[in-house]
Structure formats: C-alpha cells, structure tokens
Amino acid sequence: MFDTFLKGKTAVVTGSNSGIGLGVATELARAGCNVVLNSFTDRDEDHALAAALGKEHGVSARYIRADMSKGEDCRALIEQAGACDILVNNAGIQHVAPIPDFPVDKWDAIIAINLTSAFHTTAAALPVMRKAGWGRVVNIASAHGLTASPFKSAYVAAKHGVVGLTKVTALETAEEPITCNAICPGYVLTPLVEAQIPDTMKEYKMTREEVVRNVLLTRQPSKQFATVEEIGGTTVFLCSNAAAQITGTTISVDGGWTAL
Ligand code: NAD
C-alpha cells in the first residue's frame, strides 16, 4: 500500500527486540526506513535480529542497547542513532496488584519505562527532527491510556501520561512539519500478554481458551487480538504524507474496546 515512500528515513523504535516494537520496526523497514532496534540487553541475538531485518528489507538496521528506565540512556540512544526522523516510543512493562499492595519499585519502574523514557527520547529527538526539517513521533500508549482497569494503577497512570505528553509534543511542534500521535492498542498477543495467561488460569481455575475469551478479551468486542502487523501498519500510516495534519491525537486499534 505504502511501497517504500519512507526510503532513507531513520526510525528509532524503543523496546523493539520483541512484540509490538519488533512488529513496528519490521513494518517501517518494509516501507523503506533504516531502523534502530533497542532494548536493555546486549546479546548476540539482539544484533542478529537487526542484521536479519536489514537483510530482509534491504535497509540499514542496527541494534543499540539502552535501558529506558534511565534518562541518560534514553538520550544516548538518540545521539548514538546519528539520525532520528521517526521516533517510536514503545518500551513498556506491566505489573498487576491492588494499590495498597502495589510494590513501590514496580510503580517507579513502570512510570520510568512506560512514561518518563518518552519524555527523554522526545527531548533528545525534537532538535534532530527540527534540523532535518521533518519528523514523526509515534507513542505506543494503550486502551489503558483512555480507560482504566483495576489493579493496573501504575500502567494506567503511565499510559494516560503518554497520551498527555503526546498532546503537548504536538502543540509544541504544531507549526512545523513534525507530528506526534499515540496509538492505543487493545490486547495484542505478545510476550507481555502471554506472561499474564498462566497466573490468570491458576487464579480463576480456567483453561487457556477461557482466559483468552472471558478475561483478556472480555472488553474487546471483536474477541480477537490485534496483531503486531496492524500496530506497525498504523505507525507507517501516521508517518505517511496522508497523515501530515494528524497530530496530537490517539488512534485506537482495539477491536471496539473504547466504543463500549
Ligand atoms: P513485550 O514485552 O513483548 O515488549 C516490550 C519491549 O520493551 C521488549 O522489547 C523489551 O525488551 C522492552 N523493554 C522492557 N524494559 C525495557 C527497558 N528498561 N529498556 C529498554 N527496553 C525495554 O511487550 P509488548 O506487548 O510488545 O508491549 C510493547 C508496548 O505496547 C508497551 O508499551 C505496552 O504497554 C504496549 N501495549 C501492549 C499491548 C498488548 O496487548 N500487548 C496493548 C496495549 C499497549
């Protein structure tokens, strides 16, 4: 659909050695972008993943280690990338517990990785985009950036914060050829979601299928997971010229969740 119109642009995708981040990086590479993959590990397989992605799509692809819980690492990621036409703030973690029992270290880590990292990377990337005269910031928020669920206090607070940061970034760049939007996925079957299934099966004494349909997808009217390719395709659309006047908003990819 979009061919290779992003040829030569450089996209930095945080938290992209698995799940949605990898799906987004893959679709951006398919559209012709050079891509920078990232996570906090520095394993041979991380670098091999980037090499394979670059080879498959005929683009330059690199892996840069940076821990998104640390502000200096977030800023160093953008600096080491050398260019940053497209920034996708995707890194995220989850923890589920009632507020009185919510471990403080988990609260701090979720706010740091899911929200504060996007502030640091955006602060470092905007001057680079301004110099290049073009830019796109895509924040991967969540249906939990627009609505809430019990026991996910830190995650819901962080994702609502990401939606707020998205609006401010858009207003501060409104007169420039730079846009900033948030994608709000419903449930996407990735390692982050997969990890929640065994505990939920035990807790509710349910089969995997029952957990998927009656717990995870209970608020997703389509009763289907969104896919990483769909989140990637939505990102590519937001980077297209057709989306030049779309800024400061959210796009839900949630099978109808937020229509309820
Ligand atoms: P995932 O666990 O598969 O991927 C998370 C990525 O973040 C991984 O690459 C991981 O290595 C990276 N990461 C974690 N901590 C990091 C750190 N300190 N520094 C750098 N990278 C770090 O999860 P996912 O489901 O692909 O989630 C990706 C994003 O999408 C998250 O922001 C998540 O909140 C959001 N999201 C996911 C869903 C879903 O249903 N899967 C729904 C809505 C939003």
pLDDT tens-place string over residues 176-191: 999 999 999 999 999 8
The answer on 197 and 77 residing in a single domain is: no
Q: Distance, CA 205 to ligand 1 centroid (Å)?
A: 27
Q: Distance, CA 79 to ligand 1 centroid (Å)?
A: 22
What is 71-89 written as a DSSP string? Answer: HHHHHHHHHHHS--SEEEE
The answer on 170 and 199 residing in a single domain is: no
Cβ–ligand 1 distance for 252 under 6 Å, the answer no
> pLDDT tens digit string along 21-51?
999 999 999 999 999 999 999 999 999 999 9
pLDDT at residue 246 tops 80: yes
Which of 113, 64, 70 lies closest to 90, judged by CA? 113
- Per-residue confidence (pLDDT) for residue 205, from 0 to 100: 95
Q: How far apart are CA 254 and CA 126, in angstroms?
A: 29
- Per-residue confidence (pLDDT) for residue 219, from 0 to 100: 93
The answer on 220 and 193 residing in a single domain is: yes
The answer on 131 and 208 residing in a single domain is: no
> pLDDT tens digit string along 122-151?
999 999 999 999 999 999 999 999 999 999
Hey, what are 141's tokens?
A: 């928020």
Which of 30, 26, 23 lies closest to 1, judged by CA? 30
Q: What is the CATH number of the domain that holds 81?
A: 3.40.50.720
The answer on 98 and 149 residing in a single domain is: yes
What is the pLDDT confidence band of residue 165, given thresholds at 50, 70 and 90? very high
Within 13 Å and on the Cβ side, how many CA atoms surround 44?
0
Range(s) of the domain holding residue 199: 189-225
Candidate of 39, 197, 218, 228 to mutate for ligand 1, largest count of ligand atoms within 8 Å of Cβ: 39
Given a contact cutoff of 8 angstroms between Cβ atoms, the answer to whether 72 and 62 are in contact is no
pLDDT at residue 221 tops 80: yes
The answer on 163 and 37 residing in a single domain is: yes
Cα 77 from chain centre: 16
- Per-residue confidence (pLDDT) for residue 191, from 0 to 100: 84
The answer on 205 and 77 residing in a single domain is: no
- Per-residue confidence (pLDDT) for residue 59, from 0 to 100: 98
Candidate of 14, 17, 20, 73 to mutate for ligand 1, largest count of ligand atoms within 8 Å of Cβ: 20
- Per-residue confidence (pLDDT) for residue 2, from 0 to 100: 55
Q: Whose CA is nearest to atom 3 of ligand 1?
A: 19
Q: Please state the atom number of ligand 1 nearest to the C-alpha of residue 113.
A: 18
**Residue numbers annotated as active site:** 155
The answer on 196 and 176 residing in a single domain is: no
Given a contact cutoff of 8 angstroms between Cβ atoms, the answer to whether 187 and 230 are in contact is no
pLDDT at residue 3 tops 90: no
Q: Distance, CA 175 to ligand 1 centroid (Å)?
A: 31
Domain count, the chain: 2
The answer on 182 and 193 residing in a single domain is: no
Report CA-CA distances (Å) from 58 to 28, 144, 241: 12, 36, 22
The answer on 206 and 98 residing in a single domain is: no
The answer on 161 and 111 residing in a single domain is: yes
The answer on 238 and 213 residing in a single domain is: no
Residue located via tokens 């920034």: 87
Is pTM beyond 0.85? Reply is yes
- Per-residue confidence (pLDDT) for residue 182, from 0 to 100: 99
